[in-house]
Structure 1
């Protein structure tokens, strides 16, 4: 196990280590034909106790997927890359503006049952700034430390699919795919350097709409 750095930080989770693992991971993109292209930001920040990511709960007033747990993100605007969209949504939803040079890499595209192809973009924030959640989109923001994120997923079955339904026990509840699939792959790839795939993982029925 690597020795801690002088400030007590785990060198496995510093910016360079995360970027190296993401760079070594052969990302699998998907053709968005027939789906709406979108992106989410896996934003790595340090709240003063160590690194983690921001997980949001969507506002109850949203037309699609209201009240569900999600990563900051949304549809790509015309001419945008996934990185452009992830950074724009991070600003629009949480009030966090980040330079494009802070992007560390991508994870596999994930096709959702509701008609989207999601591109997860990993972004290095550094010291967590004050957040300004947009109440029209975000009901609550959770900071999930890496120690809590690195948790064994649960798997269940539904009659409508032969694929396993993934769940992640986080923030006092069970987070489902697509968010659970993205976070599980981030943990496997960026924190452990394991080339784990998640495209085969299923979403619960309420996420199909």
Structure 2
């Protein structure tokens, strides 16, 4: 798929940036038959799915979280985090992207957003897709990010690569999506959001 076709598809299928409904429709419990705990108040968060459409085939930028972080240490994720007081979800995604991988907001063209995702740790993650403009520099923040890398859009959006894995957690088997690519193990919330994006674009 050419960069122009990818861009047209995203513009046609994603929600507008200012969409008001942030209720998660996807989450860590999707493959486990686990409903969201009644009355739980989710902490709002936002991530950016940075997409490169120049200098080669379309590809997403992903991060490897530092091993010393208190949550999701050593996991692969999109840049993002909690929403701060007074900022919108989109502003949070852009701020976190600049803080974590050094890409300033003037190098990001926000295209739209897709389904919010509920994590077992109590976050409502709102994912945005943004096209990275030529001229940006990736500079990972070592306190949060151990590495930054690119993964082909075609690979991540191919349903044949959407695997279902399992492991024991707190005494029970938990099931989750995984998209192993080369030596990278993309799984959990990030793989779940990519699966959701695939459904939005191709479902």
Q: TM-score range by the shorter chain?
A: 0.7 to 0.9
The answer as to whether partners of 2:53 and 2:131 remain within 8 angstroms in 1 is no
Partner of 1:96: 103
The answer as to whether partners of 2:15 and 2:114 remain within 8 angstroms in 1 is no
Answer yes or no: is 1:30 the counterpart of 2:39. Answer: no
The answer as to whether partners of 2:47 and 2:93 remain within 8 angstroms in 1 is yes
Look up the SS of the partner of 2:97 in the other structure: helix
Aligned ranges for residues 162-201 of structure 1 at < 5 Å? Answer: 164-190=175-201, 192=202, 194=203
Distance 1:17 1:165, change over 3 A: closer
Match for residue 143 of structure 1 among 150, 155, 159: 150
Answer yes or no: is 1:12 the counterpart of 2:5. Answer: yes
Distance 1:62 1:158, change over 3 A: closer
Partner of 2:31: none
Look up the SS of the partner of 1:172 in the other structure: coil
Pairwise CA RMSD: 2.9
Match for residue 154 of structure 1 among 153, 163, 169: 163
Distance 1:44 1:110, change over 3 A: same
Match for residue 114 of structure 2 among 104, 107, 118: 107
Partner of 2:32: none
What CA distance in whole angstroms lies between the structure 2 residues aligned with 1:163 and 1:59? Answer: 24
Look up the SS of the partner of 2:132 in the other structure: strand
What CA distance in whole angstroms lies between the structure 2 residues aligned with 1:72 and 1:85? Answer: 10
TM-score by length of 2: 0.77
Partner of 1:71: 78
What CA distance in whole angstroms lies between the structure 2 residues aligned with 1:63 and 1:39? Answer: 18
